[in-house]
């Protein structure tokens, strides 16, 4: 688990009850926070099952994290439940996301410098694409190594994102059908606040995902626009992977997915 996540969990430590060792308490709370980051929105019961904790232990850690504003409750309507009471699910709060670690201030300074030089909004778009070009170059060899199967590529990409602190996962939906897809989710965004003002950063990242995966992808939600996770829909029912697809680090602003431009 990440050092930054552990720092937040430790900061949210209250005096444990029943003589529970402080260090062990912090480690367990770190696990709870990491699980919420990766799987949220998630219920207390699901957390207990996932982490092998008793209901009382889960509740104690959730209460501590909630009291310090690191997590919050999201009410979720249950499918098939009609007009019943919404279920309580836990997600990392905006404060928690910020305390886990954001590098957006330095990025913002660089973006403002670009704007000062270029004098128009297109400078932000160009800067965003250049920033994510480094991600594309770093990830491409590993994604390519996963082969031409889109699902395998998506899961490889999720692993790379997680290694860089994005707390990512790739989950299969509608398997074995023409509507099959992967939902690529990111539980942490280090530039969330900046992207809320400049959506060009989300657009640039989405374009990189499309080029790496070799299919047209669609953003279903972003933390920058108020979502609790960033979710990208990756269709796998009709893969269109093309060997040696365009690998331009900074594509033309008018092209959403260069694969469409290839014969």
φ/ψ region of 147 (left if φ > 0, alpha if ψ in -120 to 50, else beta) reads: left
Domain ranges, ordered by start, for the chain: 3-100, 104-261
Q: Count of alpha carbons within 13 Å of 101, Cβ hemisphere only? A: 12
| Tens-binned pLDDT, residue by residue, of the chain (263 aa) | 444 555 555 555 544 444 444 567 778 888 888 888 878 788 999 999 989 999 999 999 999 988 888 888 887 665 545 555 678 888 888 777 766 655 556 667 676 666 756 666 677 788 888 889 989 999 999 999 999 999 999 999 999 998 888 889 999 998 888 889 999 999 888 788 778 878 888 999 999 999 999 999 999 999 888 888 899 999 998 655 554 444 444 443 333 343 333 33
Q: Let me know how many helices (H) and strands (E) the chain has, helices first.
A: 10, 6
In this structure, how many other beta carbons lie within 10 angstroms of the beta carbon of residue 4? 15
- Sign of torsion over alpha carbons 182, 183, 187, 193: positive
Domain 104-261 adopts which CATH fold?
Answer: Muramoyl-pentapeptide Carboxypeptidase; domain 2 (3.30.1380)
pTM: 0.58
Alpha helices in the chain (DSSP H): 3-11, 22-39, 44-51, 55-67, 94-100, 104-118, 122-144, 150-163, 192-197, 200-213
Give CA 56 to chain center in angstroms. Answer: 29
CATH architecture of 3-100: Orthogonal Bundle (1.10)
Whether a cis peptide bond, with omega within 30° of 0, leads into 139 is no
Listed residue (166, 165, 147, 139) closest to 232, CA to CA:
166
Q: Which phi and psi (to 5°) does residue 251 adopt?
A: -70, 165
The string of pLDDT tens digits covering residues 41-100 is 889 999 999 899 999 999 999 999 888 888 888 876 655 455 556 788 888 887 777 666
Query: DSSP letters along 123-137, please?
Result: HHHHHHHHHHHHHHH
Domains 3-100 and 104-261 share a fold: no
Any residues with CB less than 8 A from the CB of 186 and at least 6 apart, and which?
161, 166, 167, 168, 223, 229, 230, 231
How much is the pLDDT for 174? 86
- Using the structure block, give the residue that is written with the tokens 């980051």: 37
């Amino acid at each position: 688990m990440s050092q930054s996540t552990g720092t937040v969990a430790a900061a949210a430590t209250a005096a444990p009850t029943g003589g529970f060792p402080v260090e062990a308490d912090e480690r367990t709370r770190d696990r709870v926070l990491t699980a919420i980051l990766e799987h949220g929105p998630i219920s207390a019961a699901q957390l207990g099952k996932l982490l092998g904790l008793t209901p009382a232990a889960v509740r104690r850690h959730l209460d501590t994290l909630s009291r310090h504003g690191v997590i919050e409750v999201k009410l979720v309507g249950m499918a098939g439940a009609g007009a019943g009471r919404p279920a309580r699910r836990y997600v990392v709060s905006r404060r928690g996301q910020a305390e886990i670690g954001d590098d957006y201030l330095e990025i913002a300074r660089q973006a403002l410098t670009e704007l000062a030089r270029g004098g128009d909004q297109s400078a932000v778009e160009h800067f965003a694409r250049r920033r994510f070009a480094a991600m594309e170059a770093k990830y491409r060899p590993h994604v390519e190594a996963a082969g031409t199967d889109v699902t395998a590529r998506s899961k490889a990409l999720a692993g790379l994102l997680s290694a860089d602190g994005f707390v990512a996962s790739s989950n299969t939906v509608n398997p074995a059908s023409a509507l099959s897809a992967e939902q690529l989710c990111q539980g942490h965004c280090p530039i969330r606040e900046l992207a809320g003002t400049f959506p060009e950063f989300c657009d640039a990242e989405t374009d990189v995902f499309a080029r790496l995966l070799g299919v047209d992808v669609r953003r279903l939600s972003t933390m920058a626009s108020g979502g609790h996770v960033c979710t990208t829909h990756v269709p796998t029912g009709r893969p269109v992977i093309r060997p040696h697809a365009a690998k331009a680090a900074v594509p033309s602003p008018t092209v959403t997915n260069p694969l469409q431009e290839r014969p």
